[in-house]
């Protein structure tokens, strides 16, 4: 007995060749598909990493911008809030809490005293006196007896104040503030004019001074202006 070597027919060979070709094509497509999938995955990861880095960058910029403390000035007559100064990272160590508090009250006092609105005159009139020593309050009341008093000059008009700068000093134990301001006046006929002033004031804190409840609410720290001078600058 011997093994007979069989010979495939042409049809069988053709089918076999087609089967091998199909398997080879399928393997090739599988490899290409894998390469495409890995390429897409790599690009997606790169995009996600890039987006994450960009988001972190924008967030850091936003936090940096928001985290910079700013001293604001509020104009009661117009409701406009203006920044007096921005405390940068480089200067934040130089500005302690007491200096920031002093500038806040100096600005508040100037806004109450120098701004004007027919609707809020009584409020600013009262607040100015709450933050003034007896002598300064008396001098302030006398100003309304003059022909140059804001209520007589402006009537139903307004005076809006922008504090340009505030400089603090301590001379011989006395707290001194020097401020430069710009006041925009508008009379009852809507005629506008602008004046620049330099203000120099001395101030102190006296939280033990007797104030009634409403006064204490408005002036919890007992901030009092003990002298006040205003000089008009030439334009």
pLDDT in tens, 2-31: 343 344 444 444 544 544 555 555 555 555
Identify the pLDDT of residue 144.
Answer: 94
CATH code linked to domain 70-233: 3.10.450.230
Across the range 108-117, mean pLDDT stands at 97
Residue, of 230 and 38, whose pLDDT is higher: 230
Q: pLDDT band at 210, cuts 50/70/90? A: confident
- Output the six-digit token pair for 65: 């911008």
Q: Which residues, in sequence order, are CB contacts of 181 under 8 Å at separation 6+?
A: 110, 114, 161, 162, 163, 164, 196, 197, 199
Whole-angstrom distance, CA of residue 160 vs CA of residue 162: 7
Please check whether residue 234 is in contact with residue 210, taking contact to mean a CB–CB distance below 8 angstroms.
Answer: no
CB-based burial, 136-151: b 16+ in 10 Å, e otherwise: bbeebeeeeeeeeebe
Instruction: Please write the tens of the pLDDT for every residue from 148-177.
Output: 999 999 999 999 999 999 999 999 999 999
Q: pLDDT band at 62, cuts 50/70/90? A: very low
Share of residues in the chain with pLDDT > 90 (%): 51
Which sequence spans correspond to the domains of the chain?
Answer: 1-67, 70-233
pLDDT > 60? residue 70? no
191 DSSP 8-state letter:
-
119 DSSP 8-state letter:
T
């Amino acid at each position: 007995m011997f093994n007979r070597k069989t010979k495939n027919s042409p049809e069988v060979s053709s089918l076999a060749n087609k089967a091998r070709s199909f398997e080879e094509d399928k393997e090739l497509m599988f490899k290409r598909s894998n390469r495409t999938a890995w390429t897409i995955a790599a690009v997606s990861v790169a995009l996600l990493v890039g987006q994450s880095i960009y988001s972190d960058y924008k967030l850091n910029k936003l936090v940096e911008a928001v985290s910079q403390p700013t001293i604001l000035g509020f104009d009661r007559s117009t409701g406009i809030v203006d920044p007096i100064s921005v405390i940068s990272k480089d200067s934040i160590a130089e500005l302690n809490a007491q200096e920031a508090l002093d500038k806040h009250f100096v600005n508040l006092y100037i806004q109450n005293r120098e701004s004007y609105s027919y609707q809020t005159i009584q409020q600013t009139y009262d607040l100015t006196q709450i933050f003034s020593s007896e002598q300064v309050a008396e001098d302030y009341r006398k100003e309304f007896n003059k022909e140059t008093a804001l209520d007589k000059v402006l009537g139903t008009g307004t005076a809006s104040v922008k504090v340009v700068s505030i400089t603090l000093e301590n001379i011989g134990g006395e707290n001194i503030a020097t401020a430069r301001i710009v006041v925009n006046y508008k009379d009852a006929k809507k005629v506008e004019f602008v004046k620049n002033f330099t203000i120099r004031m001395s101030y102190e804190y006296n939280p033990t001074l007797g104030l009634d409840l409403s006064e204490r609410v408005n002036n919890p720290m007992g901030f009092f202006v003990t002298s006040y001078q205003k000089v008009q600058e030439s334009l």
